[in-house]
């Protein structure tokens, strides 16, 4: 008899840190692109009303007909919001400014924290989309209901941490939120890792921060460190991931390394 094929669930990683400007969106775009470049099938879900991940992937506001706002409202499925990007194997569910109002709209619903999880579950069972292997969720800079939706839907959280003086500030609050989600909404949630971003080797402080963070968080911190790199910050204004804009720059190379580290950790976690 033919075995019944159960669709493999993609690994769902939420990029979260309630601080703005730490590299969540940059990591979503470039880790997503790097994963796609090495053969994964990737979907980026833009959950930030600012829509920087959407813009950075070249999807301008006019082209965002269906968005994550509609998905969280329950009006459409995630498959309807998905669109292709210029990167092969990388698709995007874009966001719009409407998302600013979504929390009020769904606040009264019993399943308000489960909206994204339900949408992903449905997508995985949709034959047209079930070859996805990774879903990356770009969270807004807050620990709001939107971020709770992301953590509830995720297998793991990936925390970008900027190499600056206050890097660890606010981290305990983030960890507490992960604990709360695990205790209630999503018992399997783990922290896959912490990625240090915008590292500047010419700045002594950057090195000190890196040492402190490794001391506090141990092997949760990825070996790969993302350097501060001007090509990375230029790329979004061309609507391109850094890996398409300049594959050889230090930033793109670091994101490729990070992608293989993420895959390696996923394999170890799944084998455990």
Binding site for ligand ADP (CB under 6 A): 20-26, 52, 141, 197-198, 226, 228-229, 232-233, 236, 251
Cβ atoms 178, 189 nearer than 8 A: yes
Q: Does 19 bind Mg ion (CB under 5 A)?
A: no
Q: Copy the structure tokens of residue 150.
A: 């992301």
Residue 232 interface partner, choices Mg ion, ligand ADP, none, CB cut-off 5-8 Å depending on type: ligand ADP
The CA-based angle 248-195-249, given to 5 degrees, is 10
Q: What is the CA radius of gyration of the chain?
A: 18
Of 174, 209, 172, give the one whose Cα is nearest residue 189. 174
Rounded to the nearest whole angstrom, what is the least distance from the CB of residue 141 to Mg ion in the complex?
7
Q: What's the CA gap between 157 and 114, in Å, rounded?
A: 16
Question: What are the residues whose beta carbons fall under 8 Å from the beta carbon of 43, sequence distance 6 or more?
Answer: 10, 82, 90, 91, 92, 93, 132, 134, 135, 136
Q: Residue 198's binding partner, choosing from ligand ADP, Mg ion, none, with beta-carbon cut-off 5 to 8 A by kind?
A: ligand ADP
**Minimum separation from the CB atom of position 256 to Mg ion (A):** 21
In 3-state terms, what secondary structure has residue 83?
strand
228 binds, among Mg ion, ligand ADP, none (CB under 5 to 8 A by kind): ligand ADP
Q: How far apart are the first and last CA of the chain?
A: 31
- The whole-angstrom separation of Cα 159 and Cα 168 is 11
In the complex, minimum distance from the CB of residue 226 to ligand ADP, in angstroms, rounded to a whole number: 5
Instruction: State in angstroms the smallest separation of the CB of 212 from Mg ion.
Output: 24
Report the relative pairing of strands 156-162 and 134-138 from DSSP bridges: unpaired
Report, in Å, the least distance between residue 80 CB and ligand ADP: 25
Site string for Mg ion, 46-85 (x = CB under 5 A): --x---x---------------------------------
Q: What share of the chain is helix, strand, coil (3-state, %, to 5)?
A: 45, 15, 40
Minimum distance between the CB of residue 206 and ligand ADP, rounded to whole angstroms? Answer: 12
Q: Could you say which of ligand ADP, Mg ion, none residue 229 binds, taking C-beta under 5 to 8 angstroms by partner kind?
A: ligand ADP
Of these, 18, 25, 30, 33, which contacts Mg ion (CB under 5 A)?
A: 25
Interacting residue with Mg ion among 11, 14, 23, 24 (CB under 5 A) = 24
Euclidean distance between CA atoms 250 and 272, whole angstroms = 33
77 vs 141, beta carbon nearer ligand ADP: 141
Number of residues that bind Mg ion (CB under 5 A): 4
Contact between 192 and 27 under an 8 Å Cβ cutoff? The reply is no
**Which does residue 31 touch among Mg ion, ligand ADP, none (CB within 5 to 8 A, set by kind)?**
none
The least CB distance from residue 174 to Mg ion, in Å, is 15
CB closer to Mg ion out of 129 and 145: 145
Half-sphere exposure of 122 toward its Cβ, with a 13 Å CA cutoff? Answer: 15
Name the site residues for Mg ion (rule: CB under 5 A): 24-25, 48, 52
């Amino acid at each position: 008899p033919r075995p019944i094929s159960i669709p493999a669930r993609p690994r769902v990683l939420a990029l979260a840190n309630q601080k703005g400007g730490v590299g969540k969106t940059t990591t979503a775009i470039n880790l997503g692109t790097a994963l796609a470049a090495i053969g994964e099938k990737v979907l980026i879900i833009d959950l930030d009303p600012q829509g920087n991940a959407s813009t950075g992937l070249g999807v301008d506001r006019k082209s965002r007909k269906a968005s994550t706002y509609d998905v969280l409202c329950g009006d459409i499925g995630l498959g309807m919001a998905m669109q292709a990007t210029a990167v092969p194997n990388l698709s995007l569910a874009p966001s719009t400014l409407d998302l600013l109002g979504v929390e009020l709209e769904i606040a009264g619903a019993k399943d308000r924290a489960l909206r994204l999880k339900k949408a992903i579950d449905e997508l995985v069972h949709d034959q047209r989309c079930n070859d996805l292997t990774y879903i990356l969720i770009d969270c807004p800079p807050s620990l709001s209901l939107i971020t709770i939706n992301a953590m509830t839907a995720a297998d793991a959280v990936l925390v970008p941490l900027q190499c600056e003086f206050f890097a660890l500030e606010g981290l305990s609050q983030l960890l507490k939120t992960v604990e709360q989600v695990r205790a209630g909404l999503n018992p399997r949630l783990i922290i896959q890792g912490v990625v240090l971003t915008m590292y500047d080797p010419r700045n002594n402080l950057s090195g000190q921060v890196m040492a402190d963070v490794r001391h506090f968080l141990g092997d949760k911190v990825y070996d790969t460190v993302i350097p501060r790199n001007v090509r990375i910050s230029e790329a979004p204004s061309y609507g391109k991931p850094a890996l398409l804009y300049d594959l050889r720059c230090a930033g793109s190379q670091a994101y490729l390394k990070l992608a293989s580290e993420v895959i390696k950790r996923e394999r170890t976690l799944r084998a455990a």
